Amino acid sequence: MVFENITSTLNKVCDILELGQVERKVLLDFKRIKREKLEVEGKKYEAFRIVHNDSLGPGKGGIRYHPNVCEDEVKSLAFWMSIKNSLAGLPYGGAKGGVKVNPKDLLKEQIEKLSRAYVRAFHEVFGEDTDVPAPDVYTDSEIMGWMLDEYEKIKGEHRPGMITGKPLVLGGLEFRKDSTSKGGYVVFREMLSKLGKKKVTIAVQGFGNAGYNFAKFADRGGFKVVAVSDSKGGIYNKSGLDIDKVKEAKDKTRSVSKHEAKKITNEELLELNVDFLVLAAMENQVTKDNANKIKAKHILELANGPVTSEADRILHGKGTKVMPDILANAGGVIGSYFEWVQNKTGNIFEEDYLEKRLEKMMKENFQKVYDLHTRKKIDMRTAAYVIAVQRILEAEKARGNL
């Protein structure tokens, strides 16, 4: 289902660019698909590492631990990373990894064993100039630290640039922690500027790292966040939520739903009458079945693939603007890029320099997409894909592969 969304969008782009079968094949081919079975304490787990395209540079993409991980999903995410990195102008191809597991069922020691087993299974394809992983769903800097340690033990030398999103003491970057949300917030403000609005209401689905930090930035920026949710439910207050207090409740009880506010479901949050709906949970949240019920006029995708291609058509048809994942959540991989460059060069960047660089890159990317979207009268996702695909194909031509 997930990869069908990609091929649907890609077919539209190929038609707009009048691409032939050779170009289509290049865009749909995968550089490397590697599958392994990891064994931890007698249990086996399916694991994947996939590189879609590396014409622009080494593969780059996260590793997720989730019970729904499958090859179709990881392929889709790797493809998205190719498009996202290309659109952002980064010297990366697209990659992704995952383990089919519910980490909530494991003890911390078991998660560490699983993480080290993953590196042992895939270490031959990892490297700062071949394929660079990072955190994703239910993985974090601590897990990246274990992975780096296992990799360096195998290689017998320090190679901090092989992974990003790691602990600061191992060469990580403080800026990387909330760079996804920072980038998304820049896109949000740029869209507000186009709309000429200063006051809007916002609902945020997903209260993990990306969703919480975006809500925090919006709240501190004077915008009214009226609803948030996590996997256990949501809350709503038409006067606006105190995000710091919601975070306190989440930390204490493991769910935002324990905060004192009106209880709502995730489904109800999606259908609220707000100006901006921020999707920061999982893929396929807005589908053909609920797209017509979406009242928000603007959707910001902090998660990967939260709107299906069928829903895209419905939303575009009724005038809803979707700021696509490959644009809106690119701050995360830009933050990873800064960390990777720092590891490769030995330079230590000032925080304010990185802030300015991220903002400049996100604004430029937004403007490119918005200009093509308005000029060609196509939705913003298609516009983003057109720009990204053209750069990938230029790289393939420069290499003599087209």
Concatenated DSSP letters of 269-334: HHT---SEEEE-S-SS-B-TTTGGG---SEEEE-SSS-B-HHHHHHHHHTT-EEE-HHHHTTHHHH
Verify that 187 and 152 share a domain, yes or no.
Answer: no
**Residue 311 domain boundaries:** 179-323
**Token pair belonging to 19:** 């691409």
d(CA 137, CA 186): 22
Verify that 186 and 215 share a domain, yes or no.
Answer: yes
Verify that 101 and 187 share a domain, yes or no.
Answer: no
- Paired sense of beta strands 59-60 and 93-100, if any: parallel
d(CA 331, CA 185): 9
* CB 302, CB 180: distance < 8 Å: yes
| Residue 386 covered by a domain | no
* CB 326, CB 384: distance < 8 Å: yes
- What pLDDT score does 2 carry? 61
Verify that 120 and 250 share a domain, yes or no.
Answer: no
Verify that 196 and 94 share a domain, yes or no.
Answer: no
* CB 276, CB 189: distance < 8 Å: no
| Residue 107 covered by a domain | yes
| Residue 262 covered by a domain | yes
Q: Give the pLDDT confidence of 231-262 residue by residue, as tens digits.
A: 889 999 999 999 999 999 899 898 888 887 88
| Residue 189 covered by a domain | yes
Verify that 157 and 37 share a domain, yes or no.
Answer: yes
| Domain end point (choices 131, 161, 191) | 161
| Residue 146 covered by a domain | yes
Verify that 31 and 86 share a domain, yes or no.
Answer: yes
- What pLDDT score does 231 carry? 86
DSSP secondary structure letters along 27-42: HH--SEEEEEEEEETT
Residue 127 DSSP code: B
Verify that 85 and 136 share a domain, yes or no.
Answer: yes
At residue 122, the 3 state secondary structure works out as helix
d(CA 350, CA 339): 12
Closest CA to 185 of 147, 207, 217, 138: 217
Verify that 183 and 319 share a domain, yes or no.
Answer: yes
Provide the angle, in degrees to the nearest 10, between the axes of the packed helices 179-195 and 209-220: 50
The CATH number of the domain holding residue 240 is 3.40.50.720
Verify that 241 and 278 share a domain, yes or no.
Answer: yes
- Paired sense of beta strands 63-66 and 59-60, if any: unpaired
Closest CA to 339 of 325, 354, 352: 354
Verify that 60 and 145 share a domain, yes or no.
Answer: yes
| Residue 246 covered by a domain | yes
pLDDT tens digits in sequence order for the chain, 402 residues long: 467 777 878 888 999 999 999 999 999 999 999 999 999 999 999 999 999 999 999 999 999 999 999 999 999 899 999 999 999 999 999 999 999 999 999 999 999 999 999 999 999 999 999 999 999 989 999 999 999 999 999 999 999 999 999 999 999 999 988 999 999 999 999 999 999 988 999 999 999 889 999 999 999 999 999 999 998 899 999 999 999 999 998 998 988 888 878 899 999 999 999 999 999 998 889 999 999 999 999 999 999 889 988 999 999 999 999 999 999 999 999 999 999 999 999 999 999 999 999 999 999 999 999 999 999 999 999 999 999 999 999 999 999 999
Of residues 12, 75, 84, 96, which has the active-site annotation?
96
| Domain end point (choices 323, 339, 374) | 323
The CATH number of the domain holding residue 84 is 3.40.50.10860
Sheet of 276-279: strand order equals 262-264, 233-236, 224-230, 201-205, 276-279, 298-301, 321-323
Is 96 designated active site?
Answer: yes
Verify that 187 and 143 share a domain, yes or no.
Answer: no
| Domain end point (choices 323, 341, 370) | 323
Dihedral in degrees, nearest 10, Cα atoms 264, 210, 202, 271:
-40
Amino acid at 344: K
- What pLDDT score does 177 carry? 87
Give the sign of the dihedral formed by CA 123, CA 100, CA 143, CA 216: positive
Number of domains in the chain: 2
